[in-house]
Structure formats: C-alpha cells, structure tokens
Amino acid sequence: MAANEVMDKIHKARVPGPHWYLFGVAVDPELHGQGIGSAIIREGLAVADRESKPCYLETSEPRNLALYKRLGFAVLQEATLGTGGPPAWAMLREPQPTPA
C-alpha cells in the first residue's frame, strides 16, 4: 500500500489535468522481444493522440524505461517505493499530432 500511495501522490501532483493512464500492460515472458507490448501500447497512444490527451504510466522495472522512452514517454519523477524499497518511475507522453 505504501508504494501505491507514493506513486498516487506523484501522479496527482504531476498530471492534474485530463489524461490517459496506461495501467497494467503485460506480455507473456515467452513472447517478449516480438513487439507485442509496443503494439498494445501504441493502440492506446493512438486513442490519446486523437483526443489530444497526454498519457501517464508508472513502472518499477528499469528494463522497461528504454521501451517507454522509444514510445515517446519522458520520466517525470523517480521515487523509492517504501523505506529501502525498489525505485519506480512516473512517466508522461504528451499528445502527438495525428495525420490529417
């Protein structure tokens, strides 16, 4: 619960306006590296872009940072989850123009 509270405070403080929250994207480990996660996320990003809304997400997996950065997310803030806990990152992607 402490981890959720930390990230919830960051979320509310750093992204107060309307936005999409990408939550709980997962791919079977046997299927990693095939672009499935990127495809799933791009579908959500396309909807957010059409609505001109930013997208927010959180990760506690350092290996996910590169993927999210490739998809246009930037780190808003790094936090420690609990006393001596692992790091987590709050990330945001601003809406991108959609082709006419």
Give 15-31 pLDDT, tens digit per residue.
999 999 998 888 898 99
Domain contains 67: yes
Reported as a pLDDT band with limits 50, 70 and 90, residue 5 is confident
Domain contains 81: yes
SS3 per residue for 16-73: CCCCEECCCCCCCHHHCCCCHHHHHHHHHHHHHHHCCCCEEEEECCCCHHHHHHHCCC
Domain contains 49: yes
Domain contains 7: yes
CATH number of the domain to which 54 belongs = 3.40.630.30
Q: Which structural domain range is residue 80 located in?
A: 2-93
pTM: 0.89
